[in-house]
A and B are shown apart, each in its own frame.
Chain A
Amino acid sequence: MRPTQIKMVVGIGVVVGAVVWLAVSGFDESKAYFKTVPELAAMGPEAMGKRIKVAGDVKAGSLHRDPYLTTFDLELEGTTQAVAYTGKAILPDTFKEGAKVVADGRLRDDGVFEAKQIQAKCASKYESGVYPGGPGGPGGEAMPEAMRQAIERGESAPEGHASE
């Protein structure tokens, strides 16, 4: 190899090495285990002290909002985890009872999960949810009798196609 090529290879090596070093050293400080509520429960004492993102639904009736400490229970597949949110940022708009939530924080000794950050996805945000004045959406629950009668009376044209 000629000197220029050697220099190029060294230069490239230095850049690649720097990127890899940055990636490896930056990895530990920002990594978090992603667990669902039952998976977190299954971890047992092993979960203590680790940074964890735990995913579940906010249990209905468990949400207590307070400007400085919001507490709620996360629930998934029958397992429940108490969460205390101590972060400073305002909770997202989509955060409410029944919402799908990812809480980012650590499990405390008293068994409460202390979250510094909350990401919320509202279940009705894009795809599912209920039509105003209608029964459950596609794949939803059974249609109420009154609605069924309304449809049979032809009030919302059950089989017509507006285009024709």
Chain B
Amino acid sequence: MADLGNFALILALCLATYAVIASVWGAHSGREPLIRSGENAALVVAAALLTVMVCLDVLLVRSDFHIEYVASYTNRDLPLFFKFAALWAGQAGSLLLWSSLIAVFTALVILQNRHKNRGLMPYVVAILSTTSLFFIILNLFVTNPFDELVAHFADGSVAPWAAPDGKGLNPLLQHPAMVIHPPTLFIGYVGFVVPYAFAMAALITGELGNKWITLTRRWTIVPWFFLGTGILLGGNWAYQELGWGGYWAWDPVENASFMPWLCGTAFLHSVMIQEKRGMLKVWNMILIILTFSLSILGTFLTRSGVVSSVHAFAASSIGGWFLAFLIVMVVFSLVLLFLRLPQLKAQNEIESMVSREAGFLFNNLLLVGAAFSILWGTLFPILSEAVQGVKITVGPPFFNRINVPLGLGLLLLTGIGPILAWRKSSSKGLRRNLTVPSVVAVGTAALATFTLGVKHPYSLVSFALAAFVTTVTAMEFGRGTAARARNTGESWPLALVRLVLKNKRRYGGYIIHLGIVVLFIGLTGKAFTQEGQFELAAGESAQVGRYTIRMVRMEERNEPNFQAMRAYLAISKDGRELGYLGPERRVYQASQQPTTEVSIHSTLTEDLYTVFASPTPDGRKGILQVWLNPLVNFVWGGGVIVCFGTLVAMLPDRARRRRLEQMMAAEVASRG
């Protein structure tokens, strides 16, 4: 199996190299068959890399401990599901997943464009194949998942050796969210390579119209969606598994995934200005280059160990490779962009501050500003050491200080944007559209202050803006539906559904906005967290907010994989019994690592989050850490709404296909 895997890797290496050469040469000399053969080679690369993945998974599932990777991340008692998922538990396997995903995306792009966009395709294939080539080289020569385990003898000799049992998967990773979180994030990271490749192909061929943007719309929203979902899943995992009561800590690895998401969000918005008004062509190029570079940088930060992180990936030699790849890629992209600058002149300019264009521009500014502030804070330890020789780190207060106001600014723009007209909004129209939402916003703030006692200014602003955006969006839906019902005589619900389906991109976008609003409400809840630490003997109780926690008993039990001690807690709110929570402390056999299993009483408005730290030294009492986290479920709920909105926006769109067909026809006509 290992030999087959290595053979397939070498095959992929050769064919990816061939795909790059054949595509570029074919395009250069205008030989279509050569271009085709390059595409076919790239298709086989995908098949070969999938074979490599199957080989590695077979070894993992069979517990073949000759292989170092298998012995490092699994053990015999590990449930089958996790053996399977151990494919991406370590570095070599993660990189394999990366390269396979790129190859699969490349194959999909090729199959989609068998008869279209023949001018762009050779360069798209060349750029995609170069990227997968880089990962294949890493997998083959730097960190090979099929390396054999060797034993070091006392006399210095070395021999292959199979461990009797493996080291086991890190218990913290034995969680369903952790199984899907890495591949989800990877699809996000990797996926941005497709719009990037189309952008570069546009620069190389000089087909600089809106075509690359229209073609890659779905290829942009898919990775954006997966990256966002991956980030949320990661947060959800941290919340349920790590036992510190939160879901986001501005850890370098979290930041690494957040930065490309922010730039991708900016890109998704700013392409609309180019489509509608022929502006910001250079900026869009820069944004997609930035988004993809930040994806690579994210991998570099995660994998190189240059910044200390709670994600304890081993520091390895792979960082240098990524840095080199990143530098080559950025220089290549910027040189191309520079050469094409004269052809990327805007066809229009901004006519008014109160216009959709200006709104999008500020949206971009805030998103990219947030990304840069996060980049700055994340890289500061490295920069300060290089410049001053002192390693200085910044913590969460730094990131919150910048990103909370920027986030609120974005929320405001989310509300204003949809009611701004292209070119110039009339002040009369604005007044008509803004009055009701503003009143609702102020009313909400007043309500929050007087009935809930919210005093923190940011929280008040956040709730007010949430109400504002919701009202604006609801009015947009309402107006559209009313107009349609009036014109067609359809019933309101039918008119609403047809309205959305008729303009999926716009209304899908609005649904995403609503999801973001809900998510913001959840984030705001963080400001009202209460926490306490208690030592309770059986029968004793403690109070957190309106909740009472009574220790019933502590109990030990043995499982095949671990030993556990559980605290049984009776929970009541305002004297009303709610049931029991059972936070646990586990020690896993294979790693001897203690972990906490949190227990959460979750309701729509708040989570009671309990952690069993340990028994007291005399064993009589249990030490508990308890958090009362308001509105956490809004974070996950907002994420679900965003997913739904994305789905709507991604549904096939007849109008879009017609536009594309017209574009193709025009292209053919102009050539003919």
Q: Are A27 and B398 in contact (CB under 8 A)?
A: yes
Are B151 and A151 in touch, CB under 8 angstroms? yes
Given contacts A15-B369, A124-B593, A138-B149, contact A143 B160 (CB under 8 A): no
Cβ-closest chain A residue relative to B405: A22
Complex Cα gap A30–B373 (Å): 14
> Would A163 and B1 count as touching, CB distance under 8 A?
yes
When distances are taken between beta carbons in the complex, the residues of chain B under 8 Å from A133 are 163-165
> Contact: B151 with A143, CB < 8 Å?
yes
A119-158 vs B, CB cutoff 8 Å, 1 = contact: the mask equals: 1011011111111111111111111010110010000111
B315-345 Cβ-contact flags toward A at 8 Å (1 or 0): 0000000000000000000000000000000
Known: A158-B151, A158-B160, A160-B66. A30 touches B613 (CB 8 A): no
Within 8 Å by CB of A4, from B244, B353, B401, B611, lies B353
Contact between A89 and B625, CB atoms less than 8 A apart: yes
Contact flags B374-407 to A (C-beta < 8 A → 1, else 0): 0010000100000000111111111001100110
Q: Is the CB of A122 within 8 A of B312?
A: yes
Whether A125 and B162, one on each chain, are in contact in the complex, defined by CB atoms closer than 8 angstroms, is: no
The answer to whether B402 and A163 have CB atoms under 8 Å apart is no
Q: In the complex, what distance in Å separates the CA atom of A145 from the CA atom of B353?
A: 80
Question: Which residues of chain A are within 8 angstroms of B593 by Cβ–Cβ distance?
Answer: 93-94, 122, 124-125
* Residue with the highest number of chain A CB atoms closer than 10 Å, among B366, B392, B535: B392
With both beta carbons as reference points, the residue of chain B lying nearest to A94 in the complex is identified as: B593
B75: contacting residue among A35, A93, A132, CB under 8 A? A132
With A16-B369, A138-B149: A127-B72 Cβ-Cβ less than 8 Å: yes
Q: Cβ of B66 and Cβ of A161 under 8 Å apart?
A: yes
On whether the beta carbons of A161 and B397 are closer than 8 Å, the reply is no
Q: Let me know if A32 and B353 touch, CB within 8 A.
A: no
B538 lies within 8 A of chain A by Cβ: no
Contact B394 A131 (CB under 8 A): no
CB distance from A54 to the nearest CB of B (A): 11
Q: Known: A34-B393, A140-B152. Is A15-B362 also a contact (CB below 8 A)? A: yes
- In contact, A11 and B393 (Cβ under 8 angstroms): no
User: With A8-B361, A162-B62 in contact, is A90–B353 under 8 Å at CB?
Assistant: no
Instruction: List, in ascending order, chain A residues with CB within 8 A of B590's CB.
Output: 132
* Cβ B2 vs Cβ A121 within 8 A: no
Q: Does A26 contact B (CB under 8 A)?
A: yes
Bitwise interface map of B from 129 to 173 toward A, beta carbon under 8 Å scored 1, else 0: 000000000000000000001111110000111111111101010
In the complex formed, the residue of A with least CB distance to B621 is A67
Contacts of A139 in B (CB 8 A): 152
Is B439 in contact with chain A by the CB < 8 A criterion? no
In this complex, the member of A12, A23, A148, A158 whose beta carbon has the largest number of chain B beta carbons within 10 angstroms is A23
A102 to chain B, nearest CB (A): 6
Structural contact, B165 and A163, CB atoms closer than 8 A = no
- In contact, B166 and A131 (Cβ under 8 angstroms): yes
Cβ–Cβ < 8 Å partners of B161 in chain A:
151, 156, 158
Across the interface, B393 reaches (CB within 8 A) one of A53, A67, A129, A131, namely A53
- Cα distance A119–B310 when bound, in Å? 7
In the bound complex, what is the Cα–Cα distance between A88 and B170 (angstroms)?
A: 26
CA distance A136 to B369 in the complex (A): 48
Tell me the residues in window 339-370 of chain B with beta carbons closer than 8 Å to chain A beta carbons: 349-353, 358, 361-362, 365-366, 369
Q: Decide if A55 is an interface residue (CB 8 Å cutoff).
A: yes
List residues of chain A with CB within 8 A of the CB of B591: 124, 129
- A77 contacts the other chain (CB 8 A): no
Q: How far is the CB of A62 from chain B (nearest CB, A)?
A: 17
Chain A residues closer than 8 Å to B3, beta-carbon distance:
161, 163-164
Q: Give complex CA distance A27, B394 in Å.
A: 7
Do residues B151 and A135 form an inter-chain contact, with CB atoms below 8 A? yes
Cα A141 to Cα B154 in complex, Å, equals: 8
User: What A residues does B2 contact at CB under 8 A?
Assistant: 161, 163
Q: Which of A18, A104, A140 has the most CB of B within 10 A?
A: A18
Chain A residues at the B interface, C-beta cutoff of 8 Å = 4-5, 7-8, 11-12, 15-16, 18-19, 22-23, 25-27, 29-35, 53, 55, 65-67, 88-90, 92-94, 96, 102, 104, 119, 121-122, 124-143, 145, 147-148, 151, 156-164
Beyond A27-B398, A29-B401, A162-B59, 18 additional contacts (C-beta under 8 Å) are A7-B353, A15-B369, A18-B405, A19-B372, A22-B401, A26-B398, A30-B394, A34-B392, A67-B616, A88-B531, A90-B243, A94-B593, A122-B593, A132-B165, A135-B152, A145-B154, A156-B164, A163-B4
CB-defined A-B contacts under 8 Å, sample of 8 = A29-B398, A89-B625, A93-B593, A131-B71, A133-B165, A135-B152, A143-B151, A161-B2
